[in-house]
Amino acid sequence: MRFPTRLLAANLFFAALLWAGYLVLIALITLGISIFGEVSGSVWEPAGQLPRWYVLFTGVTLVREYLPMYIAHGQTRRQFGGQAAITIALFAPGVAALMTAGYLLENGLHALAGWPQGLSRPHLFASTSQVGLMFTEYTIEYLVWATAGALIGAGFYRWQGGGFLTIPVGVALVLVAAGATGTELRIPFVSRLFGFDVDLPPGLPVTLGVGLGVFLLGLALTWPIIRDVPLRNQQG
């Protein structure tokens, strides 16, 4: 099967290339901080804000760019929807593994240099040695961000400017996922703008249940938008 395997492999390969370059950049920033100041904790942690936007963009692209391409080459919308869901479900843990590996490599660098490895915001994990919890948190986060991206991408593809109406729904999905993992969503004014914040009881079962539930809800909301969407001329 060419899709989703080929598309998944291409996206994971590109993500790995970006991760390698980003890792070098963050290492250089860390060294710069050590020269001109003091390294007081993890630098990879705040750097983790950017990859979620890449994951979101991947979800948007999956629908806006690849749906018309694969439909035009004989895939049904139902086939595309199912295989796109598989792509997201496998892409998210792949990127989460890269994010987790970044923490482990940073741990080694900090150990060699004698720097502390502290966290500056709440997480599902309490330290960067808890590999399983790190991987779980970022997997859930990226599952939801990619699905929110697919939902928003589907809305803009089908309704063009009307796709703005899907943005609050996507943000709500992301906020619930952040509540499920016990993390802070540091996007200025988002929680205040949309009028709610999510505070769920701690515990891995709650995290997994709510996180996977939000992922499935996002897919369920996306499917009615694309199930009979007409193909658009991308040049128009």
Residue 195 has what pLDDT? 44
Phi and psi at 75, nearest 5°, equal: -75, 145
What is the C-alpha separation between 209 and 103, in angstroms, rounded? Answer: 25
Each domain of the chain, given as residue ranges in start order, spans 5-226
Query: Per-residue pLDDT tens for 164-211?
Result: 999 999 999 998 888 888 776 655 555 554 444 555 555 788 888 989
DSSP class of 3:
T
Once rounded to an integer, what is the mean pLDDT over residues 92-96?
Answer: 97
| CB 85 within 8 Å of CB 3 | no
Sign of CA dihedral 194, 200, 204, 209: negative
Residue 61 has what pLDDT? 94
Residue 193 has what pLDDT? 47
Query: Per-residue pLDDT tens for 47-88?
Result: 999 999 999 999 999 999 999 988 888 889 999 999 999 999
Once rounded to an integer, what is the mean pLDDT over residues 12-22?
Answer: 96
Query: Per-residue pLDDT tens for 129-174?
Result: 999 999 999 999 999 999 999 999 999 999 999 999 999 999 999 9
Residue 174 has what pLDDT? 92
With a cut of 80, say whether residue 4 has pLDDT above it: no
Once rounded to an integer, what is the mean pLDDT over residues 116-127?
Answer: 89
What is the C-alpha separation between 85 and 90, in angstroms, rounded? Answer: 9
Residue 194 has what pLDDT? 45
Residue 7 has what pLDDT? 83
